[in-house]
Amino acid sequence: MITSIDQFTTIWQKESDNTRKILNELTDESIKKELVKNHRSPGRIAWHIAQTIPEMLGKTGLNPEGPKESEPVPDTAEEIRRAYDIAALSLKKQVSEKWSDESLQVEDDLYGEKWKRGMTLRILIDHEIHHRGQMTVLMRLAGLKVPGLYGPSKEEWSQFGLKEPEI
């Protein structure tokens, strides 16, 4: 659980930067590819990540800018990136300006349960990490470069003067 605004803003900055690394590799062609039958495309997952920020935090009294749940997946990767940036920055600003460390203990009704706001922020971050993992698999299937997030990706080892790990 997130226990301070400073803790959230530090973690959120790092994790939203990681999400941007993923979104920056998407192409207009890749966002529409159905790589696994009857599953979300990379664009649909990316859009879901952007939509969840205002959807989830809207249940806590905040009103972050960003795409509504009813909005369809845009036609371009750039539109998804822009929408995500708006939502991520808006959330960070609203949490910093409207909440305090103490208010992270306030409980809100989310999805039929009572969640402390600090828990909601943690779940939002974990949700984003979860979907980024799905996207990296789809990106590999689509032939896109996968950026390293918590260490170098397969393609990045050589940038550190290291030999790629054996497969």
CATH of the domain at 35: 1.20.120.450
- Mean pLDDT of the 34-45 span: 91
Residue at 165 is within a domain = no
Show the tokens assigned to 116: 């402390």
- Domain with 60 in it: 5-160
- Mean pLDDT of the 103-112 span: 97
Residue at 63 is within a domain = yes
Q: How many CA atoms lie within 13 A of 27 on its CB side?
A: 9
Is the model's pLDDT at 64 over the cut of 80? yes
Find, among 127, 144, 137, 150, the residue nearest to 49 by Cα.
Answer: 127
Q: Are 68 and 59 in contact (CB under 8 A)?
A: no
Is the model's pLDDT at 102 over the cut of 90? yes
Amino acid identity, residue 58? G
The string of pLDDT tens digits covering residues 71-91 is 999 999 999 999 999 999 999
What pLDDT does 31 receive? 95
Residue at 34 is within a domain = yes
What pLDDT does 150 receive? 92
Higher-confidence residue: 17 or 153? 17
Residue at 60 is within a domain = yes
Mapped to the 3 state alphabet, what secondary structure does the chain carry? CCCCHHHHHHHHHHHHHHHHHHHHHCCCCHHHCCCCCCCCCHHHHHHHHHHHHHHHHHHHCCCCCCCCCCCCCCCCHHHHHHHHHHHHHHHHHHHHHHCCCHHHHCEEEECCEEEEHHHHHHHHHHHHHHHHHHHHHHHHHCCCCCCCCCCCCHHHHHHHCCCCCCC
Residue at 166 is within a domain = no
Residue at 167 is within a domain = no
The model's pTM is: 0.94
Q: What's the structural domain count of the chain?
A: 1
